[in-house]
Structure 1
Amino acid sequence: MNRIALNALPSLLPVLLLAGALPVHAQNVAASATAASEVPLIERAKIFGNASKSGANISPDGKWLSWIAPRDGVLNVWVAPSSDLARAKPLTEEKSRPIRSSFWAPDSNTVLFIQDKGGDENFLLYGVDVVSGKQTNYTPFEKTRVQIVNISSKVKDRILIGVNNRDPKWHDVHSLDLKTGKLTLVQQNDGYAGFLADEQLKLRLTIKARADGGATYYRIVDGKIETTPVTEVGLDDSQTTAPLGFTTDGKTLYWTDSRNRNTSALLAQDVASGKTTVVAEDPRADISNALQDKRTGRVLAYGVDYLKQEYVPLTEELKADLAYLKKNIKGQFFLSSRNEADDKWLITVDPVTAPSSTWLYDRKAKKLSQLYVSRPELEGAPLAAMHPQEIKSRDGLTLVSYLTLPKSVDAAGTGRASKPVPLVLMVHGGPWARDRYGYNSYHQWLANRGYAVLSVNYRGSTGFGKNFISAADLQWGRKMHDDLLDAVDWAVKNGITTSDKVAIMGGSYGGYATLAGLAFTPTTFACGVDIVGPSNLFTLLQTIPPYWEAGKQQFYKRMGDPTTEEGKALLKERSPLNFAADIQRPLLIGQGANDPRVNVRESVQIVDAMKAKNIPVTYVEFPDEGHGFARPVNNIAFNAVTENFLGKCLGGRAEPIGGTIKASTAQVKYGAEFAPGLVEALK
């Protein structure tokens, strides 16, 4: 692959990857809507509609460029000769569900992509021949989810994939012949979380979950898994320690490793002797990625993401390249794709206050050429700056957070508000994930409507070391929620907002945090927007997908164990459903009917509980969506309801709902009368 990814061997822990008269101190908040009106309103569709182009990749031989772009209004794969983008053509013809990413086969003849049905996350693998346009479904199975085990630059005609069509809990490793589509079983999986192969597509290592939430690693020799472990990892290190990949000769294995330290260091292990050498480490944050030499597989540079992403070169050649890019690019940049000769790079540039763009970098000529702007309709739009913040929790943790202020109170983008404005606390999902610096569609949209937006990496967020993750163990709805409250207090103390004008919003765990906020701290937030959030932690753990079996013990250790009486009591205590009667503030819920991670029942349960107590709630369900809303028409429809809901709650401005609901598959199951403009939109 072009770079070592930190999920080279699958993690054991999947990610669940939104009143009367004002007191005197809040009068400025109400006035902010008037000030915001002086800033041009950015249309919802320009922010949440299809990007013109995204996800570009260069083929290994450097002859082709591929990207994702609309075809008849639906995102599909496009391709063009790298020397002549005017000859671009669509390769796929999806009619409803967007293709959101693609990648090249090592032979440069085929573009690969995965696709599910209606958000069920049963991802199948497809390939399209660049010349003929012939599309092949390589995994034509039902209720099956494919995993990519390894794509090697040295083996051109096949790749390794994992398929769970034999046992839904475990992915058997197969060799896929890219020309014929033939699948050949390489390793039956009888209870292993994942496998690591070398550049010859030879399986070398496997991982097995331990009962304590840790992991045991075994070598694979001549196709047989050894019975004696090669190394073990405890619960604390389980999310921050993993093998990344081998050098081309198979003699060195790279690890991201937090054992005997807090943040993950990049280690090189001599396979023969077992000796490890520290390649890179940073006390602030985990090493986030590494760039390898295309020929040898040796690491040339690595990335660290604390407040912002930084590349650190390890060779003089890379130092010169990164210095040139830094000098000639305005904004944060990411190396997104490289050809096999490594003389052509695709660079994604993110200025935050302008739409992202993708450039071709010719390393030999030291030349940058712009390929496209992702959302040209946002060029010149009043986009707001994002400001990294370090906020202290009540018990001394540092919460890396990101603040965006509306231009009405921070026209110069200084990060200081001239007066308080309503605030939306945007809580990320996971919870084992993180917020990052960069263009954020929700930040831009809400700031344009007149709100300050604050995203907080609460304890449990990844990237800041193992201690920060472990500080969240068994703290759902408690210390994790305290971190969010502490961030709101910080915003109030710094004059960003007032305590009576704060909404909470988020998806997945962020949806749980929204429900927890309204149920556990009923008067803290003015309102809440929950997107695919779990309300009952006990039923959540009962309905997780079968292919998450390897991560089940980590869920139990970090959330609460439903197989013990103590664990059951804790899960009951931390489930907002059981405190639905305490909710006092307006709530809007959005849910995908096919969500395999957070079952639709999670939303239905709390809506029913609130209905029974005559507590207002608005519930919107999408029959063709899963864990989040992939189709732009659905995302736009829900956000149309959301911004009018927030407008009534916080006093910001809103674009009318208009025909967005009718254009989507939205089903308003309950409470249309509680969301401004929704009853009219349904007529």
Structure 2
Amino acid sequence: MPTLRCLAACLAAVALHAAAAPPPPEAFFSDPDIGEAVLSPSGKRLAITSAKGAKRVGLIVMDLAPGGKIDRVVQSAGSDVVQVRWVNQDRLVFSLTDLGEASGSSRKAPGLFAVNADGSRLRMLVRQTSNFITTDSSHPDGLNWNHRLMMIPEPLPGESNDRVLLAEMGAVQGAYAESPVWINVNTGATRSYTSAVPGNSYHWVVDDRGDVRATLTLQNDRIQAHWLPPGRADWVKLYDTPVLDEPFQIEGVAGDGSLYVSHVPKGSAYRVLARYDAQAKAPMDPPLVRVPGFDFDGHLIKEGGVVLGVRTAADSEATVWLDERMKKFQSQVDQLLSGRLNSISCRRCGHPDMVAVVRSYSDHDPGKLWLYQAKPAEGENRWRALGRIREAVDPDQMAGLDLHIVKARDGRDVPVWVTRPDGAKGPLPAVVLVHGGPWVRGVIWQWNAWGQFLASRGYVVIEPEFRGSTGYGDEHFRAGFKQWGQTMQDDVTDALHWARKQGLASDKACIMGASYGGYATLMGLAKDPDLYRCGVAWVAVSDLELMVQGSWWVRDDLRLSRRLTTPEVIGDATKDAAMLAANSPIKLAARMKAPLLLAHGSEDIRVPLAHGTRMRDALAAVGRAPEWINYVGEAHGFTKTENRMDFARRVEIFLAKHLNP
């Protein structure tokens, strides 16, 4: 039996733990301490982006030899370093942007720069709309801002590389088009891509040498795929179809010119990865990678033109190594860092002198970086800890994330993700968090900022992958066509009902989301007014007629999608007018009873501000004015640091007021 002193101390410890404040919003929504980590071609240097110790994200280069220097190569007072790549062992390219600027600002366009690993010979290659950094006087100007980095060629053994391939972006029939151009990272000299390619190409697939092997073109609102097979000088047309009927998608090309494609095999529900058979004019069978229960959604892992493996997504990230040496190394890493996902990037992959960076992470932990050197210097260990992705996040304070398969009211299987505080007893107030898109996948098993933020405030977070979501089979995706506000919305509702039956969620719930998720929030409040105590919608679609038909008076970026996909996936402005009106939130304001937090960005051209003001006014007209926020300068998402934190705090206060966690 404990003494009174021991008992008092134990009770005090329990009370202190119970009263401990959850981590602040900055722990979840600030920029990570380590962003990118990229090995040099030889594996002797490591480039890292980080804002640690500075106000902006800078570029740091580590010499990985014992006692090697750590240099802050680029640090700007008004911009952030992103998209770092090595051109050769001594020179890198990177982009500069302003991560602290509102997303709708014209300053957002990134520039492209080159710099030596020691910080010398800084040169602008592509101009920004505003300059943040002084370039060398020998070449103060670069190419226009509408150039992006396409790829960096991998030289043959004994060669050195000093050029990168850019894509000059334009327009073809209202769609983005790309024209490749080479640029020398030392001199800034450019050279047009001279090889003959099909006209009107808007997407290029190149091999590791920078040679174009496949393209996509757009003609008469149809997509054509073209391939240049190995050993041939003439292009082969692979298909010519409507946008939504492509028989396969080109995923990449190996050094020998062989083509890798993803497709849904006949009689199958899920997308797989396969090599393309030139003689059969079809993807090979059996496929190279099949992910049971999920679509293939990933990329090839290559070195020296050889495909070593494939990285894709199942319930979590999955790496399928085709190289036996890397398969063995992955197994060793997973045993050493058990209970976590371990994502490997490497140089000299699988060789006796391999160097690798491992990001080891979980649903509780954004991750930690480890360096592995197969041949360390004498007296050094093979493994070295590089640092944590987010130092402010304590994994012990985070929540578990689990995937469940739920039966919707019509019998469809709907994947539902649940984030729930560890050790929680009994039902908790619920937040139904609906992903945007909607034609995307919402969640993968890893640390997720919004889910963890809400769970840290005492909620169980329900995230349904409603029909129309991608990644769970082509039929699940197409089942969402013309179902906005209908069976897509029923899936969201049914996920909450399921969570209550399972004892996970109490009878107190709010719904929230952005973009399409904001639309689903508004429709949830209208279709099930007694189910939710509140709603939080940001950058939300509220007027389906405006979205589908457009307006001369409202600027948006949906002209091409209205022509190619909107009539089929959302609805035809004329033929489906009644359906669209019946599921347009601005026409259903009188049904909404619960309080609403409504936020928009003034410069949004994906879901223009008019959606927000029309919804606000419709609710005010029926006596239910929402809590309204207009973030000036922001576009389709809030990127300015002070806006991100302000919105998170508003959400926290709003939910606490109506859910009393």
TM-score, normalised by the number of residues in structure 2: 0.82
Task: Tell me, in whole angstroms, the C-alpha distance in 1 between the residues paired with 2:145 and 2:244.
Answer: 31
1:68 aligns with 2:54: no
Task: Tell me, in whole angstroms, the C-alpha distance in 2 between the residues paired with 1:301 and 1:286.
Answer: 17
SS of 2:210's equivalent? coil
Task: Tell me, in whole angstroms, the C-alpha distance in 2 between the residues paired with 1:461 and 1:348.
Answer: 28
Q: 1:303 to 1:49 in 2, by over 3 A?
A: closer
Please tell me the residue identity of whatever aligns with 1:262.
A
Q: 1:336 to 1:147 in 2, by over 3 A?
A: farther
Which residue of structure 1 aligns with residue 62 of structure 2?
Answer: 80
Give the CA deviation at 1:553. 1.1
SS of 1:513's equivalent? helix
SS of 2:406's equivalent? strand
- Contact residue 81 and residue 97 of structure 2 kept, 8 A: yes
Which residue of structure 1 aligns with residue 24 of structure 2?
Answer: 43
**Aligned with residue 491 of structure 2, among 469, 477, 483:** 483
Written as runs of structure 1 = structure 2, the 5 A alignment for 1:330-409 is 330-335=338-343, 337-339=345-347, 343-363=354-374, 367-379=382-394, 381-407=396-422
- Contact residue 67 and residue 79 of structure 1 kept, 8 A: yes
Q: 1:331 to 1:591 in 2, by over 3 A?
A: farther
Task: Tell me, in whole angstroms, the C-alpha distance in 1 between the residues paired with 2:16 and 2:428.
Answer: 10
Please tell me the residue identity of whatever aligns with 2:50.
A
Give the CA deviation at 1:571. 3.2
Give the CA deviation at 1:581. 2.9
Please tell me the residue identity of whatever aligns with 1:42.
P
Task: Tell me, in whole angstroms, the C-alpha distance in 1 between the residues paired with 2:148 and 2:275.
Answer: 26
Which residue of structure 2 aligns with residue 642 of structure 1?
Answer: 651
1:297 aligns with 2:306: yes
Which residue of structure 1 aligns with residue 259 of structure 2?
Answer: 253
Give the CA deviation at 1:309. 2.7
Give the CA deviation at 1:421. 1.2
- Contact residue 193 and residue 208 of structure 1 kept, 8 A: yes
Which residue of structure 1 aligns with residue 660 of structure 2?
Answer: 651
Give the CA deviation at 1:324. 0.6
Which residue of structure 2 aligns with residue 599 of structure 1?
Answer: 608
Give the CA deviation at 1:57. 1.6
1:374-417 residue CA offsets vs partner (Å, 9 max, x unmatched)? 1222236511221222222222332222212224xxx2xxxxx5
Written as runs of structure 1 = structure 2, the 5 A alignment for 1:143-158 is 146-154=147-155, 156-158=161-163
Q: Root-mean-square deviation (CA), in Å?
A: 3.4
Task: Tell me, in whole angstroms, the C-alpha distance in 1 between the residues paired with 2:56 and 2:318.
Answer: 34
Which residue of structure 2 aligns with residue 425 of structure 1?
Answer: 432
Q: 1:42 to 1:174 in 2, by over 3 A?
A: same
1:56 aligns with 2:63: no
Give the CA deviation at 1:210. 7.3
- Identical-pair percentage: 24
Written as runs of structure 1 = structure 2, the 5 A alignment for 1:267-282 is 267-271=274-278, 274=281, 276-277=283-284, 278-282=287-291
Task: Tell me, in whole angstroms, the C-alpha distance in 1 between the residues paired with 2:581 and 2:198.
Answer: 35
**Aligned with residue 582 of structure 2, among 550, 573, 576:** 573
Which residue of structure 2 aligns with residue 162 of structure 1?
Answer: 167
SS of 1:42's equivalent? coil
- In structure 1, runs of 5+ residues without a counterpart are 1-33, 412-416, 653-683
- Worse-superposed segment, 170-179 or 147-156: 147-156
1:33-83 residue CA offsets vs partner (Å, 9 max, x unmatched)? x99954542122222223222222222232332222226423333333234
Which residue of structure 2 aligns with residue 89 of structure 1?
Answer: 72
Please tell me the residue identity of whatever aligns with 2:59.
V
Which residue of structure 1 aligns with residue 7 of structure 2?
Answer: none
Which residue of structure 1 aligns with residue 138 of structure 2?
Answer: none
SS of 1:353's equivalent? coil
Which residue of structure 2 aligns with residue 129 of structure 1?
Answer: 115
TM-score, normalised by the number of residues in structure 1: 0.79
Q: 1:221 to 1:266 in 2, by over 3 A?
A: closer
- Worse-superposed segment, 85-94 or 594-603: 85-94
Task: Tell me, in whole angstroms, the C-alpha distance in 1 between the residues paired with 2:82 and 2:430.
Answer: 31
- In structure 2, runs of 5+ residues without a counterpart are 1-14, 131-143
- Contact residue 228 and residue 236 of structure 2 kept, 8 A: no
SS of 1:88's equivalent? strand
Q: 1:190 to 1:420 in 2, by over 3 A?
A: same
Please tell me the residue identity of whatever aligns with 1:614.
G
- Contact residue 170 and residue 192 of structure 1 kept, 8 A: no
Task: Tell me, in whole angstroms, the C-alpha distance in 2 between the residues paired with 1:482 and 1:579.
Answer: 17
Please tell me the residue identity of whatever aligns with 2:113.
G
Q: 1:636 to 1:115 in 2, by over 3 A?
A: same
Which residue of structure 2 aligns with residue 29 of structure 1?
Answer: none
**Aligned with residue 186 of structure 2, among 179, 189, 195:** 179
SS of 1:640's equivalent? helix
Give the CA deviation at 1:139. 4.6
Between Structure 1 and Structure 2, whose CA radius of gyration is higher?
2
1:256-308 residue CA offsets vs partner (Å, 9 max, x unmatched)? 1224232111111245774643212234112233443412323x333453323
SS of 1:512's equivalent? helix
- Worse-superposed segment, 80-89 or 610-619: 80-89
Q: 1:48 to 1:36 in 2, by over 3 A?
A: farther
- Contact residue 288 and residue 302 of structure 1 kept, 8 A: no
- Contact residue 244 and residue 565 of structure 2 kept, 8 A: no
1:524-583 residue CA offsets vs partner (Å, 9 max, x unmatched)? 211111121221233335368659737851233211233xx1144433333212222322
